[in-house]
Amino acid sequence: MNDVKLSEIFGQNVFDDQLMREKLPKTTYKRLRKTIDEGLPLEPAVADVVANAMKDWAIERGATHFTHWFQPMNGRTAEKHDSFLSPTSDGRMIMEFSGKELIKGEADGSSFPSGGLRQTFEARGYTVWDCTSPAFLKEDASGVALCIPTAFYSHTGEALDRKSPLLHSMECIEAASLRVLKAMGDDAAHITSTIGAEQEYFLVDKRHYQQRKDLIFTGRTLFGAVPPKGQEMEDHYYGSIKEKIAKYMRDIDVELWKLGVPSKTKHNEVAPAQHELAPIFATSNVACDQNQLIMETLQKVANRHELACLLHEKPFAYVNGSGKHVNWSLVTDTGKNLFSPGKKPHHNKEFLLFTSAVIKAVDDYADLLRLCAATAGNDHRLGGHEAPPAIISIFLGEEITGIFDSIEKDEKVIASEIEMMEMGVATLPQLQKESSDRNRTSPFAFTGNKFEFRMFPSSESIAEAGLVINVIVADVLNEFAMRLENAEDVSTEIRAIIKETYTNHKRIIFNGNGYSDEWVKEAAARGLSNYKTTVDVLPCYVSEKAINLFERNKVFSKEEIFARYEILLEEYYKTVRIEARTMIDMVQKQILPAVIKYTTEVADHIYKLNQVGNFKINAQTDILENLTTKLNVLKESTDLLVSRVEESEKVEEALAKATFFKDQVIPVMEQVREVADGLEVMVDEKAWPIPTYSELLFRA
């Protein structure tokens, strides 16, 4: 592995632009580029030529199969492999791949979540090539396969995946931004929404992982007493990377670079055993595909290194959870980032206007942003130990807020001096003081030239975040565009829009400590919403406001929204149900037997001591008393959990069922855990049936 030259392997498994230029006839290349760049429909003749070139390249690289690679509503990726083999009329076999096969595939997947959009009798769905994301080769034990990124639709044209709505939302935000820019006299022809997603994850020893059913079935620990050491020494964040982990990270880079994923930074995170990987940003849909590849690669490579990679939002209690910071921005084909304030932000009308649009969008649709980050897993993280609170607010920084304040008060905006950081050491270079958020407590922070949505869960597809941000901002931009198009004087109107928007929506801006209790009170006083759990916020999806928004922007029909709502509710209660069942299984088959055995040992010991003589045995009887008391409580609470899970079967309707799990099942699971963890600290560590937090967090 060490002799691999990283710089030489980058993109080696991707059918990228350079390859297309090389392998395709000039006219075909040009026509394909037009489709990719301008969103024009793809001509069948072009597809045939592209398919053939792709196939030749893939076979040359050892591929035998191809697959339409898609992202069903379960948040993962799906693939069905077909070989290139095709019989000829004279009975021979040739390797074939037609334009038709490239463009469209049938996926009989009645087993994917569809929220009732697809009945099993009409289970046909089809996958459609997304030529804006490059095809790639996947190498694994089964060989090499050509993967074609696709969107997944039902037989009647409804979106069944996470990707197609994201593509729609990208068109939306592009059209709306261009309208605004045109009205302002800017001649950009294209705009893309870009995303850079920072992925957090945990690594544990594979042997430990395999001994924990909770990690295997639910991705998180359902038991585990506080270890003697947690993250209180703050010695893991950015700490030097252990040899074993470093090797893993290098391997990850090799795999990702081959796939053309520009993995850029890697470091240790705050919690022990927690790490982060960030790629260089890309257009939203490519970033989304790449993030899926990142998650898959992190897990696959971990296995090779005798490690297990946990992508869950809260694999461990008592230490930080994992998120995925979604950095979002808008970039023109002329290379301009619309959120780059430049040297004179107070004169930068585009920056101020587009930032106003974000402020209004986030304030008006805070519930949808909160919702796109809502999962059963993330419920354990939001509002927890050093995690974003569940309240949506925007951090703008003092400098930018100051500019908006001045505009609101009709004051002349005074250019603030660029502040230099005083390092106090002559040999260190002077750094420009960043006006961006360094305290990291804001869920939606302006960070220099982009917005960083920090609430997002580590294990989910970023398509959901991209989709919501794109649509809500596009909706506001369309409103602005209308005003600008009808304005007598565009400059005056721009200022009026900025002023009015800021006045009406500045309640969403908060530059202070978002983790403080005062903020929770203050936010309530400002009328900001605070949805604590997934079940609380999900109904916002089917509110009239949300339905109108999605329909107006042609991203979802009402039916699609209801289907998605169903899917999310189902996903929630199924997740909690699996957790509850795993918990019951572990208590009944592992923890209770272990404690009973240990208790018997203590009792035997007491019995024997009594036989031998008259010893002082207060300690032993005390321990025995305590153990048996706790053992009874554990049995009782587990019995209660069993009956609650049984009871849940009687609840039919999805929201009621999800609510039942939230209110009737989760609290009992907490009781079970508390008493089991109490037993863990009393029992001989050799007798405890599952690896403890000390082992999981500190021995990888």
Give the footprint of ligand ADP on this chain (CB under 6 A). Answer: 194-196, 198, 265, 278-281, 325, 327-329, 337, 449-450
| Residue list 596-635, contact with Mg ion (CB under 5 A) | none
Q: Smallest distance from the beta carbon of 159 to ligand ADP, in angstroms?
A: 24
Based on the number of CB atoms within 10 Å of its own CB, is 438 exposed (0-12), middle (13-18) or buried (19 or more)? exposed
Task: Find which of ligand ADP, Mg ion, none residue 588 binds, CB within 5 to 8 Å per kind.
Answer: none
CB closer to ligand ADP out of 327 and 441: 327
Q: Smallest distance from the beta carbon of 475 to ligand ADP, in angstroms?
A: 20
d(CA 262, CA 279): 5
Task: Find which of ligand ADP, Mg ion, none residue 694 binds, CB within 5 to 8 Å per kind.
Answer: none
The three-point CA angle 354-360-366 to 5° equals 125
Q: What type of residue sits at position 211?
A: Q
| Number of residues engaging Mg ion in binding (CB under 5 A) | 2
CB closer to ligand ADP out of 154 and 284: 284
The encoded tokens of residue 1 equal 């592995």
Nearest Cα neighbor of 195 from 1, 566, 456 is 456
CB closer to ligand ADP out of 336 and 581: 336
CB closer to ligand ADP out of 85 and 421: 421
d(CA 198, CA 277): 6
d(CA 523, CA 511): 12
Q: Smallest distance from the beta carbon of 669 to ligand ADP, in angstroms?
A: 34
| Residue list 185-244, contact with Mg ion (CB under 5 A) | 198
Q: Smallest distance from the beta carbon of 196 to ligand ADP, in angstroms?
A: 2
Sign of CA dihedral 575, 579, 585, 588: negative
Residue closest to ligand ADP (Cβ): 196
Burial 330-364 (b: 16+ CB within 10 A, else e): bbbeeebbbbebeeebbebebbbbbbbbbbbbbbb
The three-point CA angle 78-463-473 to 5° equals 160
Q: Smallest distance from the beta carbon of 405 to Mg ion, in angstroms?
A: 26
Q: Smallest distance from the beta carbon of 314 to Mg ion, in angstroms?
A: 19
CB closer to ligand ADP out of 40 and 280: 280
Q: What type of residue sits at position 41?
A: P
CB closer to ligand ADP out of 19 and 245: 245
d(CA 275, CA 252): 13
Q: Smallest distance from the beta carbon of 567 to Mg ion, in angstroms?
A: 29
Task: Find which of ligand ADP, Mg ion, none residue 265 binds, CB within 5 to 8 Å per kind.
Answer: ligand ADP
CB closer to ligand ADP out of 327 and 582: 327
d(CA 655, CA 663): 12
Strand partners, 275: 201, 268
CB closer to ligand ADP out of 135 and 249: 249
Q: What type of residue sits at position 263?
A: S
Q: Smallest distance from the beta carbon of 446 to ligand ADP, in angstroms?
A: 12
CB closer to ligand ADP out of 134 and 466: 466
Strand partners, 337: 331
Q: Smallest distance from the beta carbon of 378 to ligand ADP, in angstroms?
A: 19
Q: Smallest distance from the beta carbon of 290 to ligand ADP, in angstroms?
A: 10
User: Count of CB atoms within 10 A of residue 447's CB?
Assistant: 21
**DSSP three-state, residue 604:** helix
Task: Find which of ligand ADP, Mg ion, none residue 280 binds, CB within 5 to 8 Å per kind.
Answer: ligand ADP
CB closer to ligand ADP out of 406 and 449: 449
Return the axis-axis angle of helices 558-586 and 618-648, rounded to nearest 10°: 150
Residue closest to Mg ion (Cβ): 325
Nearest Cα neighbor of 128 from 108, 148, 156 is 148
Applying CB under 5 A, among 275, 325, 360, 506 the residue interacting with Mg ion is 325
Tokens 């959870």 found at: 321
Residues that bind Mg ion (CB under 5 A): 198, 325
